[in-house]
Amino acid sequence: MRKKIIAGNWKMNMTPSEAKALAELLIPLVKGTKNEVVFCVPAIDVTTVVKAVKGTKIQVGGENIYFEDKGAYTGETSADMLLDAGAKYVILGHSERREYFKETDEDINKKVLKALEKGLTPILCCGESLTQREQGITIDWIRMQIKIALQGVTAEQAQKMVIAYEPIWAIGTGKTASTEQAEEVCRAIRVLIRELYGQKTANAIRIQYGGSVNAKNAAELFSQPDIDGGLVGGASLKADFGAVATA
Ligand code: PEP
């Protein structure tokens, strides 16, 4: 039985002092949930949020890493830096990074390999644009993104990973995929994982839906057989996250 995982993606929001206040607001609201809860926060906030959640079951994640260990990569954050600050997860391949920072599937593959090598759990994002959905190539696109991102990843490593299906047209738009649309793609991802790694890995890997998840739609989305929780943007920055994380 897979444990559901609900991760907040704070994006480029919250100064360290605001992050502390938000963590303190959310901690009592997610207490008692059976789900695993993760706050994925800006790198500058990781230490503060790790300190704030100490003594709870909440985990902390970053929102990106670079694929090199260290060196002359001004402005980047390494896997070791996040780990040493207390993070356990890292979001990789978010559509905003693909779009604004021109991350390629090959870059994301290198980041996934680096995170796994170091012991950070990747939350690997994939998702189609509205045009791709209208062209009928959603599943082909997602399969390609995941196949490239997982090059060189072993079955044992894949079992620990999280994949977030996030249709780009649903992110931050208030337009959620229907439960059927979300389940269809999450199921297709599990089928792909079975093809690549076998049934054991397909049963173990957790697949989230992300895209305008809120307190009203979370329970129905997360009740689907292949949806093991959500990656949550806007609603993770307010008290609504309590209801989402406990759905
Ligand atoms: C996200 O950015 O990962 C996301 C799902 O955002 P939102 O919930 O705001 O659509």
Instruction: Kindly give the number of the ligand 1 atom that is closest to the alpha carbon of 214.
Output: 8
Distance between CA atoms of residues 32 and 29, nearest Å:
8
* Atom of ligand 1 at shortest range from CA of 166: 5
Q: For 105, left (φ over 0), alpha (ψ -120 to 50), or beta?
A: alpha
- Residue 174's pLDDT is 87
pLDDT at 177: 92
Half-sphere exposure of 113 (CA within 13 A, CB side): 15
Q: Candidates 2.170.260.10, 3.20.20.70, 3.40.630.30, 3.40.190.10; correct CATH number of 5-245?
A: 3.20.20.70
pTM of the predicted model as reported, rounded to 2 decimal places: 0.97
| pLDDT recorded at residue 115 | 98
pLDDT of residue 152: 98
Handedness of CA 105, 111, 112, 113 (dihedral sign): positive
Protein residue closest via CA to atom 1 of ligand 1: 233
Helix-, strand-, coil-residue percentages of the chain, each rounded to 5 = 50, 15, 35
Cβ-proximal residues to 75 (8 Å cutoff; 6+ apart), any chain: none
Do 19 and 48 contact (CB within 8 A), yes or no?
yes
Q: Where are the domains of the chain?
A: 5-245
Q: Mean pLDDT, consecutive 10-residue segments, the chain of 247 residues?
A: 96 98 98 96 98 98 98 98 98 98 98 98 98 97 98 98 98 92 98 98 98 96 98 97 96
Sign of the CA dihedral with 24 first, then 237, 164, and 243 last: positive
Instruction: Identify the residues whose C-beta falls under 6 Å from ligand 1.
Output: 9, 166, 171-172, 210-213, 231-235
Task: Please list, in sequence order, all residues whose beta carbon lies within 8 angstroms of the beta carbon of residue 60, skipping any fewer than 6 positions away.
Answer: 38, 39, 40, 41, 46, 49, 50, 53, 86, 87, 88, 89
pLDDT for the residue 175: 87
- Ligand 1: distance of its center to the CA of 211 in Å? 5
Q: Ligand 1: distance of its center to the CA of 57 in Å?
A: 23
Ligand 1 atom at shortest distance from the alpha carbon of 232: 8
pLDDT in tens, 119-147: 999 999 999 999 999 999 999 999 999 99
- pLDDT at residue 1 in the model: 82
Number of other residues whose CB lies within 10 A of the CB of residue 196: 16
Atom of ligand 1 nearest to the CA of 125: 3
Cα 209 to ligand 1 centroid, rounded to whole Å = 10
pLDDT in the model for residue 226: 98
Nearest CA to ligand 1 atom 6: 233
Dist. CA 3–CA 21, nearest whole Å: 28
- How much is the pLDDT for 193? 98
Asked if 210 and 168 touch (Cβ cutoff 8 Å), the reply is no
pLDDT, position 186: 98
Ligand 1 pocket mutation pick from 231, 236, 240, 241 by most atoms within 8 angstroms of CB: 231
Instruction: Characterize the bridge pairing of strands 59-62 and 89-92.
Output: parallel
Please give the distance, rounded to the nearest whole angstrom, from the Cα atom of residue 71 to the centre of ligand 1. 32
* Distance (Å) from CA 72 to ligand 1 centroid: 32
> For 156-187, what is each residue's pLDDT tens digit?
999 999 999 999 999 989 888 999 999 999 99
Catalytic residues: 94, 166
CA–CA dist 65, 43 (Å, integer): 9
